[in-house]
């Protein structure tokens, strides 16, 4: 089984994260999958960004939930990373999906609902409705640190894979797996390293796997996937690793 390379927020290590330019770069680098994060704007639009606030990755301030789509679209989401990406815009979920469709992307699209800090009312229904209304060529995977979002999405779309995110404790993830709500785990790489002698024999896609030695560890153990800021580097290491074995 080939360990799949999933680009964390696009090619986050080489482009401004969670932007169309980052997703294009990830596909060009050979990523098997794209991981990204979704929030809800004040006027009910599905917004792609990691943080609950826009401050870190744009020239704006405030919570996404307090800003309209028009306000979010005026923000510069690229110059914080490098002046070469000035005027890069904040994408919506539809912007990203349309890009992937145009790129004929058929890999994994891992959408994380960022509901563990702000429980956006109705976001699970909006996400499920969106994909019910849009036929996509890629494999959709939902994940979240917030168990209620995972459970809600599983009820709404039982045919879509759901996975549990965690950083240190897997008690809730274990329960969701036992209840057949989630198929696998997306644990922190640090947790994997600490527990490698007794890793559960289920589908694992650790995050964020950026060190070459951690990439090789995951390839050697044939994990289902790795979530990495550097999909291009991971692709090269996987090619070399396969050539050696």
> What are the residue numbers of the active site?
8, 50
Per-residue b/e over 122-160, b at no fewer than 16 CB within 10 Å? Answer: ebbebbbebbeeeeeebebbbbbbbbebbbbbbebbeeb
Tokens linked to 130: 């969106």
SS3 7: strand
Residues 6+ apart with CB under 8 A from 198: none
Within a 10 A sphere around the Cβ of 23, how many other Cβ atoms?
27
């Amino acid at each position: 089984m080939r360990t799949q390379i999933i680009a964390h927020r696009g090619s986050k290590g080489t482009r401004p994260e969670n932007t169309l330019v980052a997703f294009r770069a990830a596909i060009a680098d050979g990523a098997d999958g794209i991981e990204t994060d979704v929030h809800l704007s004040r006027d009910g639009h599905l917004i792609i960004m990691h943080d609950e606030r826009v401050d870190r990755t744009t020239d704006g301030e405030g919570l996404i939930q307090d800003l309209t789509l028009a306000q979010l679209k005026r923000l510069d989401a690229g110059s914080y990373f490098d002046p070469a990406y000035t005027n890069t815009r904040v994408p919506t979920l539809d912007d990203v999906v349309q890009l992937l469709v145009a790129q004929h992307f058929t890999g994994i699209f891992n959408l994380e609902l960022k509901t563990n800090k702000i429980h956006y009312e109705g976001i699970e229904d909006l996400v499920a409705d969106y994909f019910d209304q849009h036929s996509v060529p890629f494999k959709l995977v939902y994940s979240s640190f917030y168990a209620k979002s995972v459970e809600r999405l599983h009820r709404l779309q039982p045919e879509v894979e759901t996975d549990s995110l965690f950083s240190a404790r897997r008690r809730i993830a274990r329960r969701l797996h036992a209840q057949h709500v989630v198929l696998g785990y997306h644990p922190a790489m640090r947790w994997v390293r600490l527990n490698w002698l007794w890793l559960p024999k289920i589908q694992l896609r650790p995050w964020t796997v950026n060190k070459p030695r951690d990439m090789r560890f995951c390839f050697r153990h044939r994990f289902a996937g790795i979530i990495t800021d550097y999909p291009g580097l991971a692709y090269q290491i996987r090619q070399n690793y396969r050539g050696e074995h």
